[in-house]
């Protein structure tokens, strides 16, 4: 049963947030707007998801539960204790816009899951699960139902009754939870006939040094949030939901720039210091949907509106990279480090002039420059949406940093996008000598859950 002290869903007017593409809820922090002195009336607990959630708005509690109070909270008792605190507090402190920003688990007309076109968040967890040995289609369906319900609750900033308290003081913080299915999922659930050919294993590439234990998996979850505790909290909740049904196969933790760290919103930088993401397809492009999302005529109807995620853990040989001069580094990519502009001039958004030559007669953007080789013009128009996280897992035995990119890319057809481009890169990209592909996964990411449904239901119950 939910403990309700404030009507979460009615706490204020939702406003678009330019940076995140999510919404901010008035009164809980956007632009440091003070929360309303009187909270709206409590909404009745709705059936299913919301009834599990303590509608104790975490925002409402900000500044009201001191460290001592929060530290004493334990699972099961947390909701009640906090509800009592919240009810006594007439003037909660508002959240910042970062904490208050909410990304919808399902939008009325959107068919895609959140976390694909959502702007990059500061923290990410990529996790793969394998179904339990005795799992079947029914138990897999039950798991995806539980996971979808938890994701919806947490993305809305609602706290389950039996909770650890880890994220209690924070708002939704742009949390997204995105679910995918691996090739092996279909055999485990007796659904091989409905497995899309797009999930056929990726080919080997010459630079691969893949660790099978950190690759693939029956199920995949991408968690992103602008607060590390919110992301961790979501991961723990989803892991608990999986108990007895699936077990963690691998986990990778990543990060991006913190919102507000730069004077103006800008394209992310990676750990090599490059502006990375400039020439990503944009939702405003005419062919964006066609390139990134599965079309209406797809053979597997349950994937229509979904997308395919290729996940690669790519370690950067930073000791080697950092020995190169800035000039050399820029030639490797074909763009300036400072502002991401192509070597042929202009600003970050100026198109590359791939045919321009210098006074020496050589191409200004070298023939093996990464941006040239990866560009649609070099790949029969192939394009993908890159949405990576950086990672840093300490140091290796040789003292080199275990750091790089959790490269996540989205496309309607991996064979025509990732595989096409990676094959080309494999044949002579100037960046490749500084990279090691250490793990790989390919996942079918179904469309968003329908109201009352869960992610993957048309496959599992269809």
Ligand X SMILES: C=CC1=C(C)c2cc3[nH]c(cc4nc(cc5[nH]c(cc1n2)c(C)c5CCC(=O)O)C(CCC(=O)O)=C4C)c(C)c3C=C
Residues with catalytic annotation? 276
Please report how close the Cβ of residue 370 comes to ligand X at its closest, in angstroms.
Answer: 5
Of the pair 24, 335, the CB lying nearest ligand X is at: 335
Q: Which is nearer to ligand X, 79 or 277 (CB)?
A: 277
Q: Based on CB atoms, which residue is closest to ligand X, 308 or 418? A: 418
Q: What are the CA-CA distances from residue 345 to residues 266, 278, 281, 349, 352 (Å)?
A: 19, 15, 21, 10, 8
Beta carbon of residue 39, minimum distance to ligand X (angstroms, whole number): 44
User: Closest approach of Cβ 331 to ligand X, in Å?
Assistant: 12
- Select 64 or 329, whichever has its Cβ closest to ligand X: 329
Neighbours of 20 (CB within 10 A): 23
Nearer to ligand X, 89 or 208 (CB): 208
Least distance from ligand X to the Cβ atom of residue 109, Å = 29
Q: How far is the CB of 384 from ligand X (least distance, A)?
A: 6
Are the C-beta atoms of 412 and 303 separated by less than 8 Å? Answer: no
Nearer to ligand X, 151 or 332 (CB): 332
425/85 Cα distance (integer angstroms): 57
User: Which C-beta is closer to ligand X: that of 81 or that of 439?
Assistant: 439
Residue identified by tokens 């502006």 is 275
Say how far apart CA 207 and CA 220 lie, in whole Å: 24
* 126 versus 135: smaller Cβ distance to ligand X: 126
Q: Minimum CB separation from ligand X for residue 213, in Å?
A: 21
Report the nearest approach of ligand X to the CB of residue 433 (Å): 12
**Beta pairing partners, 160:** 53
Contacts with ligand X by CB under 6 A lie at 270, 272, 274, 276-279, 312, 314, 316, 333, 335, 370-371, 374-376, 404-405, 407, 418, 421-422, 425, 435
Shortest distance in whole angstroms from residue 95 CB to ligand X: 32
């Amino acid at each position: 049963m939910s403990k309700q002290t404030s009507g979460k869903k009615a706490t204020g007017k939702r406003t678009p947030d330019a940076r995140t593409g999510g919404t901010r809820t008035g009164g809980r922090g956007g632009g440091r707007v003070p929360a309303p002195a009187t909270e709206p009336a409590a909404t009745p607990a709705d059936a299913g998801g919301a009834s599990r959630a303590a509608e104790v708005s975490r925002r409402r509690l900000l500044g009201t539960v001191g460290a001592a109070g929060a530290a004493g909270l334990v699972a099961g008792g947390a909701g009640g204790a906090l509800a009592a605190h919240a009810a006594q507090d007439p003037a909660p402190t508002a959240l910042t816009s970062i904490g208050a920003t909410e990304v919808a688990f399902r939008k009325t007309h959107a068919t895609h899951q959140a976390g694909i076109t959502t702007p990059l968040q500061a923290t990410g967890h990529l996790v793969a699960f394998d179904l339990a040995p005795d799992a079947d289609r029914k138990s897999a369906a039950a798991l995806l139902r539980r996971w979808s319900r938890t994701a919806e609750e947490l993305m809305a900033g609602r706290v389950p009754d039996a909770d650890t308290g880890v994220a209690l003081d924070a708002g939704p913080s742009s949390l997204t939870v995105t679910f995918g299915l691996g090739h092996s999922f279909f055999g485990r659930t007796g659904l091989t006939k409905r497995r899309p050919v797009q999930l056929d294993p990726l080919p080997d590439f010459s630079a691969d040094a893949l660790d099978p234990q950190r690759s693939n998996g029956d199920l995949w979850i991408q968690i992103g949030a602008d607060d590390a505790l919110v992301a961790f909290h979501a991961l723990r909740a989803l892991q608990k939901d999986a108990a007895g049904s699936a077990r963690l196969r691998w986990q990778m933790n990543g990060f991006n720039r913190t919102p507000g760290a730069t004077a103006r919103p800008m394209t992310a930088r990676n750990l090599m210091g490059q502006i990375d993401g400039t020439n990503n397809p944009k939702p405003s492009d005419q062919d964006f949907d066609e390139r990134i999302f599965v079309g209406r005529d797809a053979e597997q109807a349950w994937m229509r509106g979904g997308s395919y995620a290729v996940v690669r853990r790519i370690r950067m040989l930073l000791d080697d990279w950092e020995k190169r001069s800035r000039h050399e580094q820029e030639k490797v990519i074909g763009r300036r480090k400072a502002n991401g502009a192509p070597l042929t001039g202009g600003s970050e958004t100026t198109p590359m002039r791939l045919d321009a030559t210098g006074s020496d007669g050589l191409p200004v953007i070298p023939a093996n420059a990464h941006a040239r080789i990866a560009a649609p013009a070099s790949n029969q128009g192939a394009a993908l949406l890159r949405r990576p996280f950086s990672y840093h897992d300490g140091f290796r035995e040789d003292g080199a940093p275990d750091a790089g990119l959790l490269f996540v890319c989205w496309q309607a057809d991996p064979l025509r996008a990732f595989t096409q481009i990676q094959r080309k890169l494999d044949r002579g990209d100037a960046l490749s000598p500084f990279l090691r592909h250490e793990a790989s996964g390919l996942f079918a990411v179904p469309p968003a859950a329908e109201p009352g449904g869960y992610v993957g239901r048309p496959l599992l119950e269809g």
